[in-house]
Chain A
Amino acid sequence: MTKYQTFWASFRMSMLNFFVDPQWIIPNIIAPFIYTAVALMFFGNVSSSLALYAVLGGGMMGMWGNTLYGAGFALAQERWTGTLEYVLGTPSRLVWIVAGRSSSSALLGLVNALAVLLVALIGYGAQLGIANPLAFLLALVLTLASLSALGVVFCSAFLLTRSAQVMTNGLEMPIYVASGSMFPIALLPFWSQPMALALGPTWGIDAMRYAAYTTYTGMTGFGYWFNILVLFLSTIIYLTIGFGLFIVVERKVRRDATLEEY
């Protein structure tokens, strides 16, 4: 089986499971939704450029929340339903199965972005204009990829713990803050900025802002294409780390017999 067949099968199954019970996404998009609502209150009736900040941020948070959920909770669920064993018993590499699931979750997180957008447009009468739609789309797609790959890395940790759900809650907020989803990372204490820069989605959001505003100076000043490059590289790096981690994880799980525990 090629990794594509595995990835696509997992992606598809993840989507199928979602559409069967779509309500499960609601918990993940409530938080970003409310955060954006508060942010929009802060922004008040300001120009469209700042409103876009809030909407982009909210969307980003939604994608992140759902990816974490997809990686963390879904694996725990696999354990509960007893399918994790069977999945491990196939000749497919676990990392591609998780990548498929993670990507599906990130994509579904876009739903949140849409909800937030609707609220901003209708509720706050914000006017949003994107200067360069194609560039925006490219940045968005690559951000999704980077986010999915990051989900794979975290997932390997979740496979080892029984409390995947608790970890999901614990990781969300730090990422929202650290990735500068709604405010420039320049505001963060200087010691945390390297951490922020290590996260692919930080560059992704920055790239999207470049594409949206013509006058945007960006967090590093190196421009849109530099961000795109970093995004691309981050995806590769995360996947490589994930690949390595999963080999370790798989071996550990087989040694410690933790596949079936509740």
Chain B
Amino acid sequence: MWLVQLLVMPLFEMAFFVYLATFVSPTITSIPFIAVGNAMQVSASASIFAVCNLTSEEKWQGTLIPLIATPANRFPLFLGRAVYQIFNGMATITVGFFYAKYVFGVDMSRADFLALAVVILITCLAMTGFGLMLGSLGLFLRTAMIIANIFLFIGLLVCGVNFPVTDLPVWLQPFSYAIPMTYGTMAARAAVQGANLMMLTPVLLQEIATGIGSILVGYALFIGFEILARKRGTLEEF
């Protein structure tokens, strides 16, 4: 099953938008833009969904209560599991870029692969942090699945995956800049066109900042919800 997700899903996710763009020939974007953007976005399911599921799944299987009861520091416990997701995300993106070049014909001749690799790594890290924040919500809300689903796909619309963020309505744009992926797609595109690490540093720093910010918010939420959940006794509900 994991193999299916790794190989099949990125292909179809990218194909959908590429074919759509081929059909419509939109003015605001181009095929390479879309292909690279989606190659990055395919990791979303790894980082966001799976991490968010960590808490929901454990709630379902009733292991959350024993976990909360252990003296081990809780948050790092979840963090440890998230590391696996980071590698999963990176693998998925690599597959995505493979499709971008060989299936959708993106020109990678000028690409700075080292820079691209760094971009991928940082994006996966930052998005996992973002996912952990969503996971904290999962501790408390029964609707963690809805949140996860929203954020899984919202990237397609607001993270500059299919068209530049600047084409979005103005009131929507601040949300874009709160999500690490937005910076990731920008940096990836630049790297494909030849930008090196020096040139990408500003963007990457912004991405790292967003990622760290998410983790901090996530940690705060985690503690806050844990207290509330114990007060209200909702740990077992599912």
Task: Assess A/B contact in the complex (Cβ within 8 A).
Answer: yes
Q: Does B24 contact A (CB under 8 A)?
A: yes
State which size class the interface on A falls in.
20 to 34
Q: Does B22 contact A (CB under 8 A)?
A: yes
List, in ascending order, chain A residues with CB within 8 A of B21's CB. 42
Q: Indicate if the CB atoms of B143 and A23 lie closer than 8 Å.
A: yes
A-B contact count (CB 8 A): 88
Q: Indicate if the CB atoms of A42 and B146 lie closer than 8 Å.
A: no
Question: In whole angstroms, how far apart are the Cα atoms of A27 and B144 in the complex?
Answer: 10
Which chain A residue shows the least CB distance to B29? A42
Taking CB atoms and an 8 Å cut-off, the chain B residues in 1-15 that contact chain A are 1, 4-5, 8-9, 12-13, 15
Q: Indicate if the CB atoms of A38 and B156 lie closer than 8 Å.
A: yes
Taking CB atoms and an 8 Å cut-off, the chain A residues in 159-218 that contact chain B are 163, 166-167, 169-170, 173-174, 176-177, 182-184, 187-188
**Out of B17, B19, B23, B27, which one reaches A38, CB within 8 Å?**
B17
Question: In whole angstroms, how far apart are the Cα atoms of A188 and B12 in the complex?
Answer: 11
The contact string, 1 if C-beta is below 8 Å from chain B, for chain A 68-100, is 000000000000000000000000000000000
Q: Indicate if the CB atoms of A26 and B146 lie closer than 8 Å.
A: yes
**Out of B5, B154, B163, which one reaches A170, CB within 8 Å?**
B5
Q: Indicate if the CB atoms of B149 and A37 lie closer than 8 Å.
A: no
**Out of A26, A35, A42, which one reaches B28, CB within 8 Å?**
A42
Q: Indicate if the CB atoms of A173 and B146 lie closer than 8 Å.
A: no
Question: In whole angstroms, how far apart are the Cα atoms of A182 and B157 in the complex?
Answer: 17
Q: Does A43 contact B (CB under 8 A)?
A: yes
Q: Indicate if the CB atoms of B145 and A184 lie closer than 8 Å.
A: no
Which chain B residue shows the least CB distance to A186? B23
From residue B205, how far is it (CB to closest CB) to chain A in Å?
A: 29
Q: Does B84 contact A (CB under 8 A)?
A: no
A-to-B contact residues, CB < 8 Å = 23, 26-27, 30-31, 34-35, 37-39, 41-44, 46, 50, 163, 166-167, 169-170, 173-174, 176-177, 182-184, 187-188
